[in-house]
């Protein structure tokens, strides 16, 4: 079905309790109450030539970020082992590239193999890919490729000027053609309007491949970036966005990603009830802080939610005893 702006707006703007009720009913039918745990590793940090207005990794801006080259294989494997011990299902690798050189694709292929050796799913975000690069990663065993559209097509050039919205779509097309699962979402709170948020959701429905995972990020304001002083987003807009996406994508994982540190336990709980059923688990995202593992486990225990694969790895009592191993 092709959704129009008006179709999606009607869903988005209905009374919030009715919206959440519909989203939660879909969530229970297709996922019960489980939460998927993923772990994110920045394998190459900083030095990106893109001018994304939200990103500390752009070389256009003066931020406090410390640059690092591609991590050694041994370090990635170490983090994968720790992540598995913490009950994580998928390890996601981030590299700050506009488009990765062949050496980075070769190294990523090695990362994939060593992570898969430990029985974990893999996801990579390395910027724009051509079809040959996507196929090489698929042949190495990659499960997912993440390439967010960030915001609506109409607002996109207010945030990024070094690539076009269509460039993003082309990479998603290449990823899908290679047989990789698509992970594609965006960022809320970039200064966009509510209409932009609805058009962002509409753009997700028209991707060349249906995303298997949709990350929903809240802007984390980074000093030195153009968006460091943007107005705060009303959290009800976050909840409405997640619930609308859940209704339109009943079988897709929705990951509550960056910005969770700005949400109270009750706000996070409302996001889970509205359709979010995946989180990044660990002390840090690519360059920004994340909720501690113990605080996440404590919240999920309060909610009576069992994360996917968690209690086969961790004794629930360790939550109270503060003994859960930390990922890095």
Based on the structure, what is the number of domains in the chain? 1
Q: What's 301's domain CATH number? A: 3.20.20.70
H or E element: which one contains 115?
helix 102-116
Domain-located, residue 328? no
Q: Range of 275's domain?
A: 5-321
The pTM score is 0.88
Cβ pair 277, 38 in contact under 8 A: no
Domain-located, residue 123? yes
Phi, psi values for residue 71, rounded to 5°: -70, 150
Catalytic residue set: 48, 52, 55, 92, 123, 183, 255
Token pair for 143: 């499960």
pLDDT of residue 288: 56
> How far, rounded to the nearest angstrom, does the alpha carbon of residue 20 sit from its chain's CA centroid?
21
Regions of the chain with pLDDT less than 70: 1, 59-60, 62-66, 282-290, 306-328
pLDDT of residue 143: 96
**Distance between CA atoms of 52 and 150, rounded to whole angstroms?**
10
Domain-located, residue 326? no
Cβ pair 39, 280 in contact under 8 A: yes
Cβ pair 128, 173 in contact under 8 A: no
pLDDT of residue 313: 38
**Distance between CA atoms of 224 and 227, rounded to whole angstroms?**
8
pLDDT of residue 319: 32
């Amino acid at each position: 079905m092709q959704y129009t702006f008006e179709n999606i707006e009607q869903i988005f703007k209905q009374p919030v309790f009715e919206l959440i009720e519909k989203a939660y009913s879909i969530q229970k039918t297709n996922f019960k109450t489980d939460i998927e745990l993923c772990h994110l590793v920045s394998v190459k940090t900083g030095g990106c030539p893109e001018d994304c207005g939200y990103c500390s990794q752009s070389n256009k801006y003066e931020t406090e970020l410390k640059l690092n080259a591609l991590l050694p294989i041994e370090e990635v494997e170490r983090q994968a082992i720790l992540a598995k011990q913490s009950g994580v299902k998928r390890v996601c690798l981030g590299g700050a590239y506009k488009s990765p050189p062949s050496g980075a694709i070769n190294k990523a292929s090695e990362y994939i193999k060593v992570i898969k050796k430990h029985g974990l799913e893999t996801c990579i975000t390395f910027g724009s890919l051509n079809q040959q690069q996507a196929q090489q990663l698929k042949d190495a065993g990659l499960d997912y490729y993440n390439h967010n559209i960030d915001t609506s097509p109409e607002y996109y050039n207010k945030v990024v000027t070094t690539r076009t919205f269509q460039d993003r779509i082309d990479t998603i097309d290449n990823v899908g053609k290679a047989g990789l699962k698509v992970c594609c979402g965006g960022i809320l709170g970039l200064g966009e309007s509510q209409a932009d948020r609805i058009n962002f959701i509409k753009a997700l429905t028209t991707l060349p491949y249906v995303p298997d995972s949709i990350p929903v990020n809240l802007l984390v304001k980074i000093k030195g970036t153009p968006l460091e002083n943007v107005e705060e987003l009303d959290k009800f807009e976050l909840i409405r966005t997640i619930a609308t996406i859940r209704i339109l994508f009943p079988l897709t994982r929705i990951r509550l990603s960056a910005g969770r540190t700005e949400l109270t336990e009750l706000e996070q709980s409302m996001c889970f009830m509205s359709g979010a059923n995946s989180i990044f688990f660990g002390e840090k995202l690519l360059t920004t802080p994340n909720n501690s593992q113990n605080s996440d486990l404590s919240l999920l225990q309060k909610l009576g939610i069992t994360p996917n694969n968690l209690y086969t790895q961790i004794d629930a009592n360790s939550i109270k005893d503060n003994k859960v191993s930390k990922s890095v």
